[in-house]
Amino acid sequence: MTDPANDPVLDATRSALDGPGASPADDAAGHPSALLHVNDVRKVYGSGHTEVVAVSDATMAVDEGEFVALLGPSGSGKTTLISIIGGLLAPSSGRVTVGDVDVTAMNKKELTAFRAERVGFVFQSANLVPFLTARENLLFVSSLVKGISRTQANERADQLLSELGLSARAKNLPEQLSGGERQRVAIGRALMNDPDLVLVDEPTAALDTAMGRQVVELLRREIKARGKTGIMVTHDLRMVEYTDRVFEILDGHLTHVEQPSAIGH
Amino acid sequence: MLALNEIRRGKGRFAAIVSALSLIVFLVLVLGALADGLFFGATGAVRNTSATGYVFASDAEGSLVRSRLPVSDVEKVAAAPGVEQAGPVGVLLTGGVGPDGPIDLAVFGIDPGGPGSPTAVEGTLPTEPGTAAVDVALRDAGVTLGSEVSVGDVSATVVGFTADSEYQLQPTLWTGVETWRSMRDAVRPELRGQTDVINSVAIVTAPDADLGAIAAAVPDTTVLTAAETGLAIPGVEQQSSTLNSIIYTTLAVAGLVVALFFALLVLEKRELFAALKALGASTGRLGRGVILQALIASALGVVIGAVVARLFDLVIPPEVPTLFRTETLLTIAVFTLVAGVVGAMFSLRRIAKIDPATAIGGAL
Ligand SMILES: Nc1ncnc2c1ncn2[C@@H]1O[C@H](COP(=O)(O)OP(=O)(O)O)[C@@H](O)[C@H]1O
Ligand SMILES: [Mg+2]
């Protein structure tokens, strides 16, 4: 892999982390009615001398309808934090609430249902089901929640595919799609169940710059058009311009909240 | 939708498991047909008659040929508690001559229509001395209604056919005790004059009859049920248990093959399953898909294996005693499906252990 952390221009640690933004904890205090609240979340991997504190005392709030970035160098705890927010990982301590539900209080079964119904994930590599077509990949996730009729699901899948410019590719298997197209299908899949929260981890890692920009632009458009709340993890400074606010993370600490324009290219 | 589409779009790999299962089912069906053929061919004459049990001389160890009883025991047995009917049975394993030449024969002297008598599937049971009913297997030796079958210098006219009535894989000839005795005397001159000796007494018992009490009522006898009499025929029980253990071991191998196949498939799909779990698919949902796939593969294996086994039956030489029974097919089908499902269930733990958190952040 080519590690942008070694590239001085793109390295988030060197170019951006001493900006003038407020601390995320202070910022959160100003957003009491935000959709997402992260309170004093800490995550420790391992124990004893192999102990790694991946996230420490993270506090942040994201309003409904916002599309924010979580920016930090490799190993800073971005994936860990977003996994905890999405109910994939239990924190060592702290609390995450989405709307009026406490994600950190749920059992495994409740978390599975929570992820199916209220969270849309876009992974680093699209991770589509290889033996399902683009359209079937969307329909599959709607089969994971109760109460969506077939016609409803079909209509929604077709609508999303058309918005994502994939109508002509609906019947193609992932192996017949380009990297960018696959990531667009993954975006459609994330939005399929009308989630409250869209969580995206390094969506452009496997794409070239132009393709990456196109995907992130589309992601923003879809999230904004549907009034969703989105968090995109990235270490790529060029991608933050598509977001509303940028949370910076370093060594497991959330350091600042910035406007994208405050982050130099 | 996941499970079915994977099969539909990944035919090659599923063809592999279906072929393996078909082969196993085919093998098991042929072994089963051999087991059934041997068992049915050996035991028909005592299993498929009106008798519910047989009375033997105590020292005969349940062998019809070895047992010798005085004909007067028939009346004593008839008077024993729980016995509704009793009739004589004389047995002679010998060679004879049919229309097309020499044939192997098991001659049974009985009370035609009485206890221990088979039923005629064509023609009638013999009523006159010098007439006989024979097993349908003798049709292959040119025997038809009206044919003469002879043993030594005694011949009998065939008036009927019986089915599933062979004894120790030899076709049977059913006749009255008198004709049986003349045939016996014709080939065993040393037994001439023993006019009051028969081999066994066939009985029809009341449903709650105590066989021990019947034996106790007639000195120096033992009583076996018809089924036990079949199993007491030399080799029958050993053959059945050997073939059956091969069959069930092979079916266990089918389970193992399915278990390995799906273990590999799940291993290969760890990343995908982690992603699907992250998206909200439960272990149960993913596991059901795997089990459905195992069921489909097993069912296809059964169908293809059965068809191939039937085709194979057409080329098995007639001397090989094979019998393809629907009951055996159904049993093997059920066992194969169960083996498939149980095999696939070993993957459930593996699926349960896949951590959805590994889907995000990935290796890239
Ligand atoms: N499952 C794990 N077990 C132990 N340490 C881990 C695990 N996952 C992540 N870490 C460690 O936690 C820290 C943060 O990792 P991560 O959240 O993946 O960072 P990022 O996504 O910003 O690259 C790193 O030091 C990483 O090595
Ligand atoms: Mg990461």
Element (H, E) at A135: helix A134-142
Q: Are residues B196 and B74 in the same domain?
A: yes
List the domain range (segments joined by +) for residue A70.
4-129+179-262
Q: Are residues B177 and B322 in the same domain?
A: no
Tell whether B101 is covered by a domain. yes
**What is the pLDDT at residue A4?**
47
Inform me whether the pLDDT recorded for A7 exceeds 70.
no
User: What would the mean pLDDT of A11-32 be, rounded to a whole number?
Assistant: 73
Q: Are residues B293 and B263 in the same domain?
A: yes
**What is the pLDDT at residue B169?**
92
Would the CB of A165 count as within 6 Å of ligand 1? no
Residues with pLDDT less than 70, chain B: 361-364
Tell whether B225 is covered by a domain. no
List the domain range (segments joined by +) for residue B280.
2-42+236-360
Cβ-defined contact of B278 to A115 (cutoff 8 Å): yes
Provide the number of structural domains found in chain A: 1
In terms of Cβ atoms closer than 10 Å to its own Cβ (0-12, 13-18, 19+), residue B155 is middle
Cβ-defined contact of A88 to B360 (cutoff 8 Å): yes
Choose the final residue of a domain: B156, B186, B219.
Answer: B219
Q: How far is CA B55 from CA A28, B34, B72, in A?
A: 96, 30, 13
Tell whether B52 is covered by a domain. no
Contact A128, A186 (CB under 8 A): yes
Would the CB of A76 count as within 6 Å of ligand 1? yes
Choose the final residue of a domain: B219, B244, B268.
Answer: B219
Q: Are residues B209 and B272 in the same domain?
A: no
- Tens digits of residue pLDDT in A71-113: 999 999 999 999 999 999 999 999 999 999 999 999 999 999 9
**What is the pLDDT at residue A42?**
97
**What is the pLDDT at residue A207?**
85
Inform me whether the pLDDT recorded for A264 exceeds 70.
no
Q: Are residues B88 and B195 in the same domain?
A: yes
Q: Does B81 touch chain A (CB under 8 A)?
A: no
**What is the pLDDT at residue B364?**
35
> Rounded to the nearest whole angstrom, what is the distance from the C-alpha of residue A217 to the centroid of ligand 1?
28
Q: Are residues B9 and B66 in the same domain?
A: no
**Dist CA A250 CA A77 (whole Å):** 8
**Dist CA A220 CA B167 (whole Å):** 85
Cβ-defined contact of A189 to B277 (cutoff 8 Å): no
A125: confidence class by pLDDT, cuts 50, 70, 90: confident
Q: Considering CB atoms only, which of A121, A193, A205 is closest to B360? A: A121
Would the CB of A131 count as within 6 Å of ligand 1? no
Nearest CA to ligand 1 atom 27: A75
**What is the pLDDT at residue B1?**
81
A18: confidence class by pLDDT, cuts 50, 70, 90: low
Give the whole-number percent of chain A exceeding pLDDT 70.
92
Domain holding A246: CATH number? 3.40.50.300
**What is the pLDDT at residue A21?**
83
Element (H, E) at A173: none
**What is the pLDDT at residue A19?**
58
The minimum CA-CA distance between A30 and chain B, rounded to whole Å, is 30
Reported ipTM = 0.89
Q: Are residues B125 and B256 in the same domain?
A: no
Q: Are residues B169 and B74 in the same domain?
A: yes
Phi, psi of A103 (to 5 degrees): -65, -35
Task: Provide the whole-model pTM.
Answer: 0.84
Mutate which of A44, A45, A49 to test ligand 1's pocket (most atoms within 8 Å of Cβ)? A45
Q: To the nearest 5 percent, what fractions of chain B are helix, strand and coil? A: 55, 20, 25
Tell whether A54 is covered by a domain. yes
